[in-house]
Structure 1
């Protein structure tokens, strides 16, 4: 996600902060997964991904309306 954040910053200049935040959340969840039960860590990942999809969908809609 950090790589795609850089790509979107370099090309489209949009939604890169959201991608960096999602990457940081995944890193934190990966570190916490060592101490969490497997199903809890899976639930945390599901929440991160669902929030990321929602936020990026809104960000791209905003970019489309701004561009066109």
Structure 2
């Protein structure tokens, strides 16, 4: 790994040490659409509706997603 120095080192330290402004719980509670999407994903997983990366790429290419 290349040693970072000067300004770029300071920028990288800021990125690495940056604390998120909100928690996931706060984000979900504040955004009903996000909450609904996460609940749907959970249901899909429990129902066995999962896809491989290749399947998702194909669905995107075919305009299904």
TM range (shorter): 0.3 to 0.5
Q: Which has the higher helix share?
A: 1
Q: State the TM-score, normalized to the length of structure 2.
A: 0.33
Q: Which protein is bigger by CA-based radius of gyration?
A: 2
